[in-house]
Structure formats: structure tokens, C-alpha cells
Amino acid sequence: MQDDWTAIILAAGLGKRMRSKKAKALHTIAGRPMLLHVLAAVREAFASHDTNASHVAVVGHGAEQVEAALDGSVRCVRQAEQLGTGNAVAQAESVAKASLHVLVLNADLPLISPDTIAGLITRHLEENADLTFLTAVVADARGQGRIRRDAAGRVTGIVEEAEADSAALAGSEVNVGIYCFRGEWLWPRLSRIERSAAGEYYVTDLVGIAVNDGTTLVAVPVDDAVEALGINDRTQLAQAEAVMRERICRRHMLAGVTIVDPATTYIDADVTIGMDTTLHPSTSLLGRTSIGEDCEIGPDCRIADSTLGDRCRVVSSAVEDSTLEDGVSVGPYSHLRGGAHICSGAHIGNYAEVKNSRIGRNTKMGHFSYVGDAQVGDDVNIGAGTITCNFDGARKHRTVIGDGAFIGSDTMLIAPVEVGAGARTGAGSVINHDVPPNALAVGVPARIRRKKEGRNE
Ligand code: UD1
Ligand code: CA
């Protein structure tokens, strides 16, 4: 059965004013391509209406990348040539035709809220309208279609800036770029749109057509004009980023996260943070990051695509693609990356780098060390200056360190190599052969000196 509604997101434009090789819809705000912000708002709006809707994106410029960003979440139709927003809507006719109503949205409106879209849908249904669209009164109307009204205040049309005379240009009420149509009204009228002097078919001409038809046309003003910010260039991109960042910080604070300085805290849209966690100044939480409860993060941290448990403490450090279990402390000045997995209670101190390694429970690695491609057991002490020499110039090799081992300061572990459980290495030793459990290895290259009593292999 066809859903009552189809939402069509127009995302085929290049966005010339962005001066970019990338399609405009893919430019990110709070780490998420702008069209995904629009899509999320649309989905939430329909959810609040308890209405099932189909979603379709019209793609053109950078179609493959845009489709990849959508990742199969919505159907895509291609607009071969960017002949304007009216032509873009027409590309979706065959997929949307059976729906009673059609919601059309520009993809460059990342600040639009679910409530505003839901409100527009409500008005459209209440008024039983053929066309319902959103307007905004803005301080800077540059680049936007102006709403034309008659002396009685009735809408008579939308004038695009390219066609506007000075009277129209002086207007401050603009078209936001979100429209509800009754499907039966919309589809036959698309072909009545005439090509503009600029060579485009404007979806906004449908407003004038509706007025001439004497049909039910409703203009709904948006409550907060900031939601109407269309992103056409990179100054607007930065404006939207600032607004979005403030919204995200506010959402987390209201959910129980302390943010000491929201002005220097950057949290991407999809990040989750547990209650009673504190974020100190100059902290970025990016991508698919999730932080548990009662953590202290920052100052001066960058955490990307990582998962932190509860009660973690990270100071002045960079954490990427990594997992920290509960009660881990990191920093200042350390770098975890490439699939580092730090088990509960472990401590990674200053100037340490951990890459593609598992560090066991309660293991301490306090001072300037590199551990890469390693498996380190529980309760290990890694002395200052320890290095896993994992790269032989051609290939990477693994280091394994057993539970309870004590790695002396400045130990070089020439991988592949294994240090057994309970073994010790002397300060400055170069370990190029396996060390048995409970043995002591010292020297350059290291020799096995003795085994601890009572624990022979
Ligand atoms: C459009 C509106 C304008 C409104 C403004 C709000 C038209 C003719 N004008 O102007 O009234 O005030 O948005 O921000 O609609 N697109 C396509 N295919 C095309 C052309 C555009 O898919 O052939 C997509 C773009 O990717 C974009 C959206 O439609 O997401 C709007 O296009 P854009 O060029 O930004 O329109 P504006 O000039 O801003
Ligand atoms: Ca625009």
C-alpha cells in the first residue's frame, strides 16, 4: 500500500556559491551532511504525526557520493540536468504519484526543526489545502524568493531574486523552501511551470499558479527565522554550525551533562553522553562517539569515533577509533588510535601512543611510550620510554605481554616477540627473543637471567 505522504528532498544542486568540488548537500554541520539533518527532521515530524511516509531524494551533482551518504536509507531518483527546483520535483513523480500528499524540501535547510515541519503538515491537513508553504521574515533576504502580497495581505506569488524588481527586493518576507502539496493538484500543474529567463523551472511558480486557479493556498510563517537559514555559501555554513552547536550543547546540558564552557565545546550531532559527565573547555567530541556516565573529559581533548565507558578521565589528549572501558584515565598529552582498546582501570599517562592494541585491566603505562599492534595483559607495568618496535621496514608485527609482567624503563620490544606472564625486563633492554613466564631478561640484546623461584615452566 502506498503511504499517505511522500517527502521529496531536493539535493541535486551543486551549490555554485559554495565554491566547492563537493555537492552542497554533503557539506557537514556538526559532523553530519546537511541533507541528513533535513531528513532526520522530516522523519521526526512524521513520527510525531504518527504518519507513515515514503522518502525520496532527488540527486544530481555528486550523485554517487550523495547516495553513499544516504546509505540506502531513502530512495534516490536522478535529475540528469539541474533545470531548477520545479524540474527536480518532476523527477520524483513516478515514485510519489500514488501518495495523497507530497512534502517537498530543499536539502540546504539544516536548521529546520521537526516541530516546524509537523506544524506545516498540520495546517495543510486542517485547511484541506492544495498548497501550503513556509515563509519567514528575515533581516537578510539576499538570494531568496520574496513573498508577494496584495493590498489585503493575500499571497499573490513568489518572486525569485533574479526576476525581482526593486519593490519586490525590498520585501523581507521570504520563501523558506518547504512545501506541502495535495498530490492530485501538484502533478498536472508541474508541466504548467514556464522556463525562467535564467533557464530554470521554479517550483515557486506553483504559488502563482495556485493563486490563478483560485485554489486553497496557505502560507505559514515560521516562528523562529533562524530555522529558515538556507546554506548557499560558506559564511552561512559557519552560521548554521554555530547555531547547531549551541542546540546540541543545550540538549546535553538539559539531559544532565555539565559543559563548563559551551562556547569552546564542539559536539557532533550523533554523539551520546551519559549523565553527570563533565566536559571541560576546548573539547571536541566527534563522529560516532559515545561517552558514559561520570566521566571527566578535557580540557583540550579531541575524541573521535570512540566509545568510553563510565568514570573515564581524559585530559589534553586525542582519542580516535578507540574503546575505553570503565574507569580508564588518559593524559595529559597522549594519543590513542587505530582500534586501541583500553580495559577497565588502566592508566595511560603522558606522551603515550597506543595503536591497534589491547591494554589489559589495571595496566599502567604512565610515561612516554609507544605500544602498537600489541596485546598487553592485566596488571602490567610498562616503564617509561618502552617501545614496541612493530615495524621492520616492510611489515608490522605483534607484541604480546602476559599478565603481571613488569617492563623496565626504556625497553625495546622487537616484534614479533612475547613476554610471558610475570616476567620482567631490565631497564634499557632490547628484547628480540621471547621471554618465558616469570623470567628476567636484561641487556642488549637481552639475555634471560633467571626464573623466579617456585614457578618453573
Ligand atoms: C530556493 C527557492 C527560493 C527560496 C530559497 C530558500 C526556487 C526557485 N527558489 O532558491 O524561493 O527562498 O530556495 O532557501 O525554488 N535543486 C535541485 N535541482 C535543481 C536546482 C536545485 O535538486 O535543478 C535543489 C538544490 O540542491 C537545493 C534546493 O533544490 O537543495 C534549492 O536550490 P537552490 O539553488 O539553493 O535554490 P535557491 O536559489 O536558494
Ligand atoms: Ca538555497
The secondary structure of 130-141 as a DSSP string is SEEEEEEE-S--
Q: Is the CB of 84 under 6 A from ligand 1?
A: yes
What are the φ and ψ backbone dihedral angles of 126, each rounded to 5 degrees?
Answer: -60, -40
Q: Give the model confidence (pLDDT) of 332-370 as tens digits.
A: 999 999 999 999 999 999 999 999 999 999 999 999 999
Is pLDDT above 80 for 457? no
Helix residue spans in 214-304 (DSSP H) = 234-254
The Cα–Cα gap between 415 and 371 comes to: 11
Residue 137 pairs in a beta bridge with: 173
Q: Is the CB of 58 under 6 A from ligand 1?
A: yes
Is 367 marked active-site? yes
At 157, the amino acid letter reads G
- The torsion defined by the Cα of 274, 276, 281 and 286, in degrees rounded to 10, comes to 0
Residue 320 pairs in a beta bridge with: 304
Q: Give the model confidence (pLDDT) of 77-134 as tens digits.
A: 999 999 999 999 999 999 999 999 999 999 999 999 999 999 999 999 999 999 999 9
Q: How many residues does the chain have?
A: 457
What is the structure's pLDDT at 453? 53
CB 50 within 8 A of CB 61: no
Closest CA to 408 of 436, 377, 387: 387
The sign of the torsion formed by the CA atoms of 230, 233, 238, 241 equals: positive
Reading phi first (left if > 0) and then psi (alpha if -120 to 50, else beta), residue 67 is in alpha
The DSSP code for 76 is: E
Measured between its terminal Cα atoms, the distance across the chain in Å is 71
Burial of 233: CB neighbours in 10 Å, binned 0-12, 13-18, 19+: middle
User: Position of cell 554523539?
Assistant: 271
Q: Is the CB of 12 under 6 A from ligand 1?
A: yes
Q: Which residues surround ligand 2, an ion (CB under 5 A)?
A: 108, 230, 232
The number of beta carbons lying within 10 Å of the beta carbon of residue 451 is: 17
Supply 153's cell numbers. 495581505
Residue 400 pairs in a beta bridge with: 375, 418
- Please identify which of the residues 27, 367, 397, 433 carries the catalytic annotation: 367
What's the helix, strand, coil split of the chain in %, to 5?
A: 25, 35, 45
CA 270–ligand 1 middle distance (angstroms): 27
CA 67–ligand 2 middle distance (angstroms): 20
Reading phi first (left if > 0) and then psi (alpha if -120 to 50, else beta), residue 122 is in alpha
Q: Give the model confidence (pLDDT) of 384-413 as tens digits.
A: 999 999 999 999 999 999 999 999 999 999
Closest ligand 1 atom, residue 83 Cα: 23
Supply 374's cell numbers. 600489541
Is pLDDT above 50 for 455? no
The Cα–Cα gap between 207 and 310 comes to: 54
Reading phi first (left if > 0) and then psi (alpha if -120 to 50, else beta), residue 14 is in alpha
pLDDT tier at 452, thresholds 50, 70, 90 = low
CA 22–ligand 1 middle distance (angstroms): 17
Closest CA to 283 of 302, 262, 269: 302
Least confident of 122-126, 197-201, 424-428: 197-201
- Side-chain half-sphere CA neighbours of 448 within 13 A: 14
Supply 61's cell numbers. 551533482
The DSSP code for 452 is: -
pLDDT tier at 454, thresholds 50, 70, 90 = very low
Closest ligand 1 atom, residue 84 Cα: 23
Closest ligand 1 atom, residue 144 Cα: 12
CA 45–ligand 2 middle distance (angstroms): 21
Please report which helix (H) or strand (E) contains residue 48, including its range.
helix 34-48
Q: Give the model confidence (pLDDT) of 286-336 as tens digits.
A: 999 999 999 999 999 999 999 999 999 999 999 999 999 999 999 999 999
Supply 141's cell numbers. 533576504
* 3-state secondary structure at position 347: strand
Q: Is the CB of 175 under 6 A from ligand 1?
A: yes
Reading phi first (left if > 0) and then psi (alpha if -120 to 50, else beta), residue 236 is in alpha
The DSSP code for 193 is: P
At 99, the amino acid letter reads S
* 3-state secondary structure at position 416: coil
pTM: 0.93
